[in-house]
A and B are shown apart, each in its own frame.
Chain A
Amino acid sequence: DTAVSQTPKYLVTQMGNDKSIKCEQNLGHDTMYWYKQDSKKFLKIMFSYNNKELIINETVPNRFSPKSPDKAHLNLHINSLELGDSAVYFCASSPIGQGSGANVLTFGAGSRLTVL
């Protein structure tokens, strides 16, 4: 069974479209995250949710809106897609917030978004 699953794995779309990426974890973790990995493999956090509550919201355009219907799901909706949004988006989860240093993230396999 996949611990953190993301769908779709690949997404190709036109500029200006709206798209969503879904993420689900079956680990019983309280905290979920979205990370963006650019073409140079650089990973940066976008959002963090703890029990459906937004904890971290980095400098991300308003076109990106995370939604957490319950603590096992964290979806990412992107409006008016731009070329620069092309990247691999990783969902992750952890048992509690990372501040303790004792907990680690379990990552999904990633969703590769290509905007044409």
Chain B
Amino acid sequence: DIQMTQSPSSLSASVGDRVTITCRASQSINTYLNWYQQKPGKAPKLLIYAASSLQSGVPSRFSGSGSGTDFTLTISSLQPEDFATYYCQQSHSDPTFGQGTRLEIK
């Protein structure tokens, strides 16, 4: 299994802040890395695929970068609707997810 480790596990931020979440794979996954947003009681929503490609309909304040083992998700200016839990997921082999990062309002 490829293990995915996100940091931080939680963070507090304010509307308008720039936020970065990191995800590290236990071995190289090239750019087979996706990011999802999940709000309470809802299914996850795809934000970024292939490490840096923005899914259709997702606001441009979301961006992703990285390759190999280290990846980041950046939200350039937090909006009220962005407070949620974020998961990374590798699709290089049997899919595995990070443990999640809970983004809370400061």
Do they bind each other? no
Task: Tell me the A residues contacting B by CB distance below 8 Å.
Answer: none
Task: Tell me the B residues contacting A by CB distance below 8 Å.
Answer: none
